[in-house]
Amino acid sequence: MAASATPFIAQRALEIDASGIRKVFDLAAKLKDPINLSIGQPDFDVPEAIKEAAIAAIRGGKNRYTPTQGIGELIAPLKQKVAAETGWTDPAMLILSGTSSGLVLAMFAALNPGDEVLFLDPYFVMYKHLPRLCGAVPVAVDSYPDFRLHPERIEAAITPRTKMLILCSPNNPTGMALSREELEAAAAIARKHHLLVISDEIYDAFSYQPHRSIAPYLPGQCILLKGYSKTYGMTGWRLGYAAATGEAAAVVEQMTKLQQYTFVCAPSMVQYAALETISGSDHPPVDMTPFVNAYKKKRDRVVEALRADFALNEPGGAFYAFPKVPGDGRITATQFVQKAIDRNVLIIPGNVFSSRDTHFRLSYATSDEKLAKGLAILQELAAEAGRL
């Protein structure tokens, strides 16, 4: 990396590229009515009950700092929820300004310079860059061509400096959901090598079979991260939570301390609004099942439309597919994506999420009409690629 052109810029900032996702997002703002299959953001709005609760909280004066760890009214039921789902007893809990802040705080709380962090390739973009901000070393473990967790590859990547393993299921960008066998194998490896596992479960509601977590198999060595952005369309509201037990609970305690000096607290009115997602004495929880079912149908449409022309592993959750570019390697994903953009379809090349540039990420979090148009254009591009 070249030295900075100005002494005011730190080397750590120069070593991180601008997000390829955001580059496409910015491009979308310049195009006229694009078919945007790029951004991982639900196309439904925040449910009315949650909106009204946020408005009521603002009007009711819930606009000041909350305790760093979050409001007790939200923490108490979340502890019960996590305990019921994981079998953990009295988990430590921290309300976050989005799950992304949980990744930041967990890494700064747990990693020393030189520590190594494992994650599967393809990966969510933050997994590669955040360790570097801590002076740690990101280590991507190949999961091609099926995007499953291969225990022998994890084992082969472990060194004496390995400290953390990040799992994301359902996965961004592939949409793959880890099986019980994969999670149990990962937990066994973590116990053997005493690794801290960050389980990023931001897409847990968008599981098209019962959602599975590593948390029940790894008490004491797992930090569970969940959030509201995807489930309830609250991407701009910034709310999530971290939970852990045993030795990992000490990391959450340090995350809470670091939050005092960084994010301070999650947005106050959003915390109160989130109470609508939990059953109360005066209301049932907001039901997102119809939206999840609608996205499952969109997933099925994507698989049906693309499987004849693209190598595609069927996504088990989230709202992404990660098809391989057709043409037997004659064109890269970046080149294919440019052809799609020329047809007003926005997708993201796989090298944003991977060491390879052979696939692209498609988000089906859009209207049925735009999805149909986008899929038709991708089919046309696949036919053209076959003629190269």
Among candidate residues 248, 277, 306, the one where a domain is terminated: 277
Q: Residue 39: its pLDDT value, please?
A: 86
Q: What residues have CB less than 8 Å from 262, skipping those under 6 apart?
A: 101, 104, 105
Is the domain of 163 the same as that of 109? yes
Is the domain of 349 the same as that of 336? yes
* Beta pairing class for 345-346 and 35-36: parallel
Query: What's the CATH code of the domain at 358?
Result: 3.90.1150.10
Top pLDDT among 32 and 73 is at 73
The mean of the pLDDT values for the chain is 93
How many other C-beta atoms are found inside a 10 Å radius of the C-beta of residue 148?
17
Domain that holds residue 15: 11-45+288-386
Q: Report yes or no on 4 lying in a domain.
A: no
96-153 confidence digits (pLDDT tens): 999 999 999 999 999 999 999 999 999 999 999 999 999 999 999 999 999 999 999 9
Residue that has been written with the tokens 């994903």 in this structure: 333
Q: Residue 384: its pLDDT value, please?
A: 85
Q: Report yes or no on 57 lying in a domain.
A: yes
Give the C-alpha separation, 307 to 211, whole Å. Answer: 25
Q: What residues have CB less than 8 Å from 126, skipping those under 6 apart?
A: 100, 103
Q: Report yes or no on 283 lying in a domain.
A: no
Is the domain of 89 the same as that of 124? yes
Q: Report yes or no on 168 lying in a domain.
A: yes
**Band of the pLDDT at 16, cuts 50, 70, 90?**
confident
| Nearest CA among 310, 355, 315 for reference residue 336 | 310
Among candidate residues 235, 257, 277, the one where a domain is terminated: 277
Is the domain of 365 the same as that of 238? no
Is the domain of 30 the same as that of 147? no
Is the domain of 67 the same as that of 140? yes
Q: Report yes or no on 6 lying in a domain.
A: no
Q: Residue 1: its pLDDT value, please?
A: 47
The answer to whether residue 23 scores a pLDDT higher than 90 is no
Among candidate residues 217, 247, 277, the one where a domain is terminated: 277
Is the domain of 365 the same as that of 312? yes
Domain count, the chain: 2
Is the domain of 27 the same as that of 55? no
145-189 confidence digits (pLDDT tens): 999 999 999 999 999 999 999 999 999 999 999 999 999 999 999
Is the domain of 62 the same as that of 200? yes
Q: Report yes or no on 1 lying in a domain.
A: no
Is the domain of 309 the same as that of 245? no
Q: Residue 45: its pLDDT value, please?
A: 93
259-274 confidence digits (pLDDT tens): 999 999 999 999 999 9
Is the domain of 260 the same as that of 302? no
Phi, psi of 228 (to 5 degrees): -110, -15
Token digits of residue 320: 């992404």
Query: What's the CATH code of the domain at 220?
Result: 3.40.640.10
Q: What is the mean pLDDT of residues 46-75?
A: 96
Is the domain of 31 the same as that of 80? no
Instruction: Name the pTM for this structure.
Output: 0.93
Q: Report yes or no on 3 lying in a domain.
A: no
